[in-house]
Amino acid sequence: EPEVTQTPSHQVTQMGQEVILRCVPISNHLYFYWYRQILGQKVEFLVSFYNNEISEKSEIFDDQFSVERPDGSNFTLKIRSTKLEDSAMYFCASRTGQTQGETQYFGPGTRLLVL
């Protein structure tokens, strides 16, 4: 069964460093998402992406964040200058886009720790 995959599974970085989190969505999916979950808190929406552009972004997704689909398979989240409060689990999700509101399938996540 097709799955969303994410790399790396864990990333430790120093405050101020740039990180790139990578996702490979399910192959026939057209809509892509990033969410994050700070330890002990709820899953929060960051950004949605369709047709090579951002469709919607949350207040969390400020100028330090960017997303890209550099080729036909990868979908990346870049944090330019990490802060301590960026420490969280980051989930990528995708859906086909055949109908509105349909199921989003989540990847296993990347746990980011900023020291």
Partner 1 sequence: EDKVVQSPLSLVVHEGDTVTLNCSYEVTNFRSLLWYKQEKKAPTFLFMLTSSGIEKKSGRLSSILDKKELFSILNITATQTGDSAVYLCAVAGTASKLTFGTGTRLQVTL
Map the footprint of partner 1 across residues 12-71, applying CB under 8 A. Answer: 31, 33, 35, 41-45, 48, 55-56, 58
Of the pair 82, 94, the CB lying nearest partner 1 is at 94
Pick one of 19, 75, 95, 114: the residue that binds partner 1 (CB under 8 A): 95
Residues 77-98 as b or e (16 or more Cβ within 10 Å = b): bebeebeeebbbbbbbbbbeee
Residue 89 found at the interface with partner 1 (CB under 8 A): yes
Of the pair 31, 65, the CB lying nearest partner 1 is at 31
Cα angle 65-68-74, degrees, rounded to a multiple of 5: 125
Residue 98 is encoded by which pair of tokens?
């055949």
